[in-house]
Structure 1
């Protein structure tokens, strides 16, 4: 309305035209700049959920790289118990480039999809009775690195990030978010997440700790971090697939013994023909089971399909980068990945995007994971040094594994923890829920706890939400598991 009035004034009063033109230009410039500043909205209703949301949900964008126009999208759910005193957790998802929405609906967040056969209508949502936001923490779910979920860059070069650069962008995000939400600065703060996020979480935490030591404002009240089925060292993690597969009966004694005899402990890069032949035979057997949980059926929809170029409707602000042209294949309803299929449908509905306040024209087809679409530099070969630095500086650490995960076997995570050479203060034992063993745990000095979730897969809390809830609550309350 104001711009229309200004335009009419310019036409009626020619002497004022030059000044009015300058003012109009400044207004447009301010409008453009406001798009790259932090912007948030309180969401009270979501498509597919009946009635008003019973929790406080905020979504928004935070600019983290001005030159590239990089905007990270987030979801914030406030604790339903005591938001002024409960911890704040930044919960990240793996991939790299799986959406933070995964944490909100598949792990520790307040909603789940209703598992019903898809009939063409919008998938329905229900509350998650094991949401950490009920009585444990307020939680931030972040689409990071850029290219995940609804995060985007105006300059295509902005997608060229890696372990270090994306971690620094997360720290920039947190500084800006806390500046906009100063009431949470005194709350205990933790960084948590699973899978590939487990590799960058210690990097992010170390950058935060360095900022605390240098008294850089705002000072984030970091207390520790949590990583589930974490990628720590890609070569070590991959090599432990072989002894794990032998231990659970996927490969025979003879094949395992041949691998030990011919591969010199390296089951990733064979250096001789005998090792190569053995590993090919092992790979054929491993292909018969689901990597995420060896007890699951092999299903469609777990992996991200490859991108295609030049598809109508797929080009957005991503410039020369293209998004996926179609949704992943539909798995059967008994598959764990069926809920991923429902999320793809729900997120690509216009009413959903309008409700979440997604900026038009920034994202084409939303997919759960964009692992192969954009360049990503895995420039930290191992994060074990970051674990050592943080724990010896006094930060608490919880490392947990689903014991049915073939992607990052718990054997690998155990070995990397043992390489820290910390003293055991509470030896290996079961931890319980409802009178039954929920998993097993061991505690080291320097406040490092390792735990398994019995029956859990690669995203352990997604498979065992009740056990994950109990584990998180006890650990955050400084109680033994």
Structure 2
């Protein structure tokens, strides 16, 4: 509660004190992609703390449908401390999956990008993540759930000042995994900032917030997230002792191949390697769920890539998708109160789960949703795409929808991309799934 009170008092004041500071680049060509990009991409920095020189790096992909009226979605990658490069989850690009032989990784357009129906802001947060940096390196050591929330709110207000065209568009905060925990926290503090401005008789806020959407969200590890793994894997039949013996299953996606996690961590999830020449000697399997992350580290470290993206020289060392060794304070143990507060105030919420994820099983997510005791508006049913079930959904009062993605893993939307886009489009357009 003390941290919550701190943000309620400090965030509005911080927004008044921080001057506007932004540098942006319109990106038309990218290393590894043949020809001009088939979508509008802007990258840039927003200064969120003058004292420490903290600047957050963003990628803005304009909606390919109707940018003047389509929603704007801030999408955050989980981790925490993992970059939101345009290849992951909802982004408009993907890698051509081929064995890496020292040549340039090739890119291709993602036809199932959420930019088909919304403008997307992808943000490298917290500071020290991806291309985000601070002049005062010590500021990286004071990073956590609430401090990064403050930076994100500051970022959003400055970004919308710089982009007045989108101020009246519906706005949603979204993210998966650990970002799924942060999204409702961010959304609540945005709504509180807008309420404070409205009470003073001024404009109700720069951000026309409508709600939030989260996938396989970490929510409350002590009481929910970790307590349904056994019942999910064994359908309530096997014992916890037998569960501990299940080492051949990929927890990210139970039907996927078993990834070489030690190799993956050693090569690109950690900070142990320093020479790119080492990357060609030992590779994860191409059909591993994280092979694209392996390629993205190679791609993002190329000078031509950094130049095209407008990355400031000398601001970071080697790019790493996830900087797990960076200090981080997990000072928000649960986001359940934020989900409850937002939905009882009428904000729209979509909570979705890949039904093949062991890390955060859909059973655990549905359990904390049911704990709210909301009345059911549309009971558990299949939702469809092309005559086939894309998953199942249930809609509650207070505008909360829970949905599953059939065949989805921990990062649900990366596994069945067509179904993911269909789900997002229907929900963002305020239509039934």
Q: Compute the TM-score of the two structures, normalised by the length of structure 1.
A: 0.80
Structure 1: segments with no counterpart, 5+ residues: 1-34, 260-277, 314-323
Mapping for residues 45-56 of structure 1, pairs under 5 Å: 45-56=29-40
The aligned residue for residue 390 of structure 1 is 342
SS of 1:106 mapped into structure 2: coil
Q: Write the distance in 2 (CA, Å) between the matches of 1:54 and 1:480.
A: 30
**1:230 aligned to which of 217, 222, 240:** 217
1:339 and 2:292 aligned = yes
The aligned residue for residue 210 of structure 1 is 192
Is the alpha carbon distance of 1:463 and 1:312 closer, same or farther for their aligned partners in structure 2, counting shifts above 3 Å? closer
Q: Write the distance in 2 (CA, Å) between the matches of 1:36 and 1:282.
A: 53
SS of 1:475 mapped into structure 2: helix
1:453 and 2:414 aligned = no
1:294 and 2:254 aligned = yes
The aligned residue for residue 243 of structure 1 is 231
SS of 2:194 mapped into structure 1: helix
Is the 1:211–1:219 contact (alpha carbons within 8 Å) kept by the matching residues of 2?
no
1:119 to partner: Cα distance? 2.4
Is the 2:127–2:134 contact (alpha carbons within 8 Å) kept by the matching residues of 1?
yes
| Residue correspondences, number | 403
Mapping for residues 65-464 of structure 1, pairs under 5 Å: 65-101=49-85, 104-134=86-116, 136-159=117-140, 160-215=142-197, 218-235=205-222, 236-247=224-235, 253=237, 255-256=238-239, 259=240, 278=241, 282-285=243-246, 287-300=247-260, 302-303=264-265, 305-308=269-272, 330-370=283-323, 372-464=324-416
CA RMSD, aligned part only? 2.1
Is the 2:130–2:321 contact (alpha carbons within 8 Å) kept by the matching residues of 1?
yes
Q: Write the distance in 2 (CA, Å) between the matches of 1:85 and 1:388.
A: 29
Q: Write the distance in 2 (CA, Å) between the matches of 1:325 and 1:190.
A: 41
Is the 1:302–1:340 contact (alpha carbons within 8 Å) kept by the matching residues of 2?
no
1:244 to partner: Cα distance? 1.3
Range that drifts further, 298-307 or 67-76 = 298-307
1:302 to partner: Cα distance? 5.0
Is the 1:148–1:369 contact (alpha carbons within 8 Å) kept by the matching residues of 2?
yes
Q: Write the distance in 1 (CA, Å) between the matches of 2:417 and 2:269.
A: 28
Range that drifts further, 44-53 or 214-223 = 214-223
Q: Write the distance in 2 (CA, Å) between the matches of 1:302 and 1:99.
A: 16
SS of 1:75 mapped into structure 2: strand
Is the 2:395–2:401 contact (alpha carbons within 8 Å) kept by the matching residues of 1?
yes
**2:44 aligned to which of 60, 78, 89:** 60
Deviations 1:395-435 (A, max 9, x none): 10000000000111111100010111111111101111110
Q: Compute the TM-score of the two structures, normalised by the length of structure 2.
A: 0.89
Is the 1:326–1:365 contact (alpha carbons within 8 Å) kept by the matching residues of 2?
no
Is the 2:269–2:320 contact (alpha carbons within 8 Å) kept by the matching residues of 1?
no
Larger Rg: 1
Structure 2: segments with no counterpart, 5+ residues: 1-18
1:327 to partner: Cα distance? 6.1
SS of 2:334 mapped into structure 1: coil
Q: Write the distance in 1 (CA, Å) between the matches of 2:415 and 2:386.
A: 17
